[in-house]
Structure 1
Amino acid sequence: MLKYFILPLLLLTQTVSAETAQGWRWYNEPRTPQQPQAQPTPPPQPTMTMTQTPEPTTRNMTATEQMEWFHRYMAEAQNEAMINPSVDNVITFMKISRFIDGKTTDFGMAWKKALLVDPELSYRTKYPTESLARKTHNAMTVKAKEQAVVTMAEQGYGLFFMYNGKSPLDAQLAPSVQAFADQYGIGLLGLSMDGELLTTLNSTRNNDGKLNVLSVPALILVNPKTNEIKPLAYGFISQDELLGRFLNVATDYAPDF
């Protein structure tokens, strides 16, 4: 267990000269006190004894307690250097900043080592970041999405495209939806909600209040064999995004990360 060795360790560090102040990583800028004191009283070092017994008993501090104490100590050193910017005060704070840099570096290296000890924690094992590998990975993802459309079509699913024929956005979306259906071989039926039919759809008719939807335009998956109805998308949607929606439905929205 880490005990209170931080302050002695910092004071024994060699004096740092001609260094630029380190950036803040964990801490906020100090607030200017309303009534600055000439000599702010530094926070007392935490006692390690239990005063309830005649003979003091030491106890270990948790990592959270140690960090809370260190935050207070650093804030005091920072405020002291700002209010009384002597060379000694600035050097003290610079040593603390260097100590933090070292701890941050140690944490980063331990993180890298941990990913080798337990590779399941690494994002790159499932999602490569190199450009060449990403091309292959993206191609595999697209293939899985396309297969989801084919699989659902084979299971008997088709698409209802619910639209308002008088809406310019719905009219613009219609040919894209028709092209998608033609490309992946899934049936498409357009249903007009306002009685205005769009001729860019191969098959369309008036809904006549038979099917209610929350919003239009809407794409609904329908399986006449099982009478299943599954909302696929609401609003304007690209073909790439629509392709992904099929994979979501086919996998029952299983997480892909």
Structure 2
Amino acid sequence: MLVSPAVAVAQADPTPGATTTAAHPVSRSPFWDDARRGWHFYEDPEPEVLPPVLPKPAQPKAEPRRRDTRAPELIEFEQLQKRLEEYRNIAIIRPSEDNVRRYMQLEAQVVRQASYFSDVAQRVAWATPELDMTLQGRPVNSRAIEVFDREQSNSRAQSMSDLARSHVLFFFFRSDCPYCHAFAPTLEAFSARFGVQVVPISVDGKGLPNFPTFRRDNGIARTLQVTQVPAVYLAEPFTGKIMPIGFGVLSESQLLERIATVTAPGADAYVPSITRRVNLQ
């Protein structure tokens, strides 16, 4: 049997390099460059490895532009605001004469528009009493203020007289407190005018000239957290409900106003934590 020279050489000299070449065909050279294979050796060419063809990513479909359904006035106002802010920012960063003038012209236009709105709103208020804020609450005219204050005083005085049938005033004081001495005559006159009973409570166990008869503090000052005198509380003995009126020296009008405020319908819901329930029986 005839053996080609390349095969004979391969069988006779099994060198480690040949084994490595067979085991690792990755880096094989063409057969015509290998003398041991011979010129007559034939090998099929290795197939060309092409990179995998990746599918093209699907292009997101452009969403149809939604039509702005807002009122055209809202769109115009938003554009005006944006343009004014842009002009201002440009003028701040580049305060050239043209940039500043452009911003000031647009700002003047906005001010004129706001002034026109104010004029129209005022005319509407004059023609619509329920929208006129000068007719709601305390008036602004001096003559009207006099009438308003007189009516308020009469109404509160009547309410205080009715309230005196079921409520009393707790007056916390100290005999060495100058503010308590200054406030005592006012509280005494208030009691005489509206018929409300004042219960003087001495924190230090001594009285005042206007209130020689008093009660010693039996712990109620601590219960009500009285940390400063003079202090006035409105109490309803039958229910044990006690509400603070104020601390320090108060005028008669302040007493009347504050009592009317804390006894108004629904007043407890505003600041419920300050109203306390104490057994006064």
Structure 2 length-normalised TM: 0.60
Mapped contact 1:218–1:235 kept (Cα < 8 A)? yes
Give SS of 2:170's match: strand
Give SS of 1:140's match: helix
Residue 246 (structure 2) pairs with residue 234 (structure 1): yes
1:93 maps to amino acid: Y
Q: In structure 2, what is the equivalent of residue 140 of structure 1?
A: 151
Evaluate the alpha carbon distance shift between residue 52 and residue 164 of structure 1 in structure 2; reply closer, same or farther with a 3 A threshold: same
Evaluate the alpha carbon distance shift between residue 129 and residue 239 of structure 1 in structure 2; reply closer, same or farther with a 3 A threshold: same
Could you tell me how far apart the structure 1 residues matched to 2:207 and 2:111 are? 67
Counterparts in 2 of 1:173-252, with a 5 A limit? 173-201=183-211, 203-209=213-219, 212-215=223-226, 216-224=229-237, 226-236=238-248, 237-252=250-265
Evaluate the alpha carbon distance shift between residue 90 and residue 162 of structure 1 in structure 2; reply closer, same or farther with a 3 A threshold: closer
- Cα deviation, residue 222, structure 1: 3.5
Q: Tell which structure's C-alpha radius of gyration is larger.
A: 2
Q: Which has the higher contact order (CA 8 A, sep 6+)?
A: 1
Counterparts in 2 of 1:40-119, with a 5 A limit? 52-53=63-64, 58-61=67-70, 66-81=76-91, 83=94, 85-87=96-98, 89-116=99-126, 118-119=128-129
Would you tell me which structure has more helix in proportion to its own residues? 2
Paired-residue identity, %: 21
Could you tell me how far apart the structure 2 residues matched to 1:118 and 1:94 are? 36
The structure 2 residue matched to 1:159, chosen from 166, 169, 189, is 169
Residue 140 (structure 2) pairs with residue 129 (structure 1): yes
Evaluate the alpha carbon distance shift between residue 205 and residue 52 of structure 1 in structure 2; reply closer, same or farther with a 3 A threshold: closer
Q: In structure 2, what is the equivalent of residue 13 of structure 1?
A: none
Residue 180 (structure 2) pairs with residue 170 (structure 1): yes
For structure 2, the 5+ residue unaligned runs are: 1-61, 268-281
State the superposition RMSD in angstroms.
2.9
For structure 1, the 5+ residue unaligned runs are: 1-50
- Cα deviation, residue 169, structure 1: 2.2
Could you tell me how far apart the structure 1 residues matched to 2:262 and 2:69 are? 53
